[in-house]
Amino acid sequence: MTGVPMIIDLHCHFGAAFFRYREYRMTAEDLLREMDQHNVERAVVGSAGEFAAHWNREGNDAISALALGFPERFTGFATINPWMLAAALDELRRARETLGLKGLILHPMLHGFEANDPLVFPLVEEAVRLALPVYVTGGAPLLAVPYKIADLAGRYPEGRFILGHAGWDFHFDVLYCLEACPNLWAETSKNELCNLEAIVRAIGPERLVFGSDYPFSTYRSEIEKIRLLPGLSNHDMEKILGVNALRLLDHR
């Protein structure tokens, strides 16, 4: 559609079923229908539920199948528990070299580690060696507060790191983290409009990347939130909704 900016969703979940009180079925067609309704050109997808928490290999297989089945619409990221130690490195190599996945997702709260714990260093070092961006789910008290994710990013300045949910409840720290780490981007899902506005005012629009957290949030609300950011030019909005993500993924 003419005049509609390119939208790339940098944080989306996919799975046949989700655990606990969010159990329901999802198909590729369901997700594509939702994306088309909101003019989302591409989504970066990762596992959810038990496949993110425990069955990482099976979850990564499913994400790969989705991305290979619809290569023009989906980019797959691998979810890996660093407590797997050497097996985690093997799974990351398999995810990249055999499954064709294009990034790494870390869940400090789900897997029980601090974002900058030495436990995670070997896995992150391998991701950086493989030129894979690293998405860290942010906002969990103690484990994934922004400054710990920034500390991790600062140890690997040649890497690309994404602060999930723009730090969520710890938004006051995000500005300092982005200032300190030029290789860190903030992903917008589930954060407040006023907090994202503060980032744009202090840092500029180049370090924000749109994410939906779908299906745990909605495309309608997450996209509208970006459109409501005050003072954005059309060019700035295009950066946040798609251009920044494209550059991050393409390493340009």
Cβ burial 153-168 (10 Å sphere, 16+ → b, else e)? bbebeebbbbbbbbbb
Q: Among 3.40.50.720, 3.40.50.970, 3.20.20.140, 3.30.450.40, what is the CATH number of 7-250?
A: 3.20.20.140
Domain edges within the chain: 7-250
Alpha-carbon gap, residue 173 to 229, rounded angstroms: 20
pLDDT, tens digit, 9 for 90 and up, residues 72-110: 999 999 999 999 999 999 999 999 999 999 999 999 999
pLDDT, tens digit, 9 for 90 and up, residues 122-164: 999 999 999 999 999 998 788 999 999 999 999 999 999 999 9
pLDDT, tens digit, 9 for 90 and up, residues 114-125: 999 999 999 999
What percentage of the chain carries pLDDT values higher than 70? 94
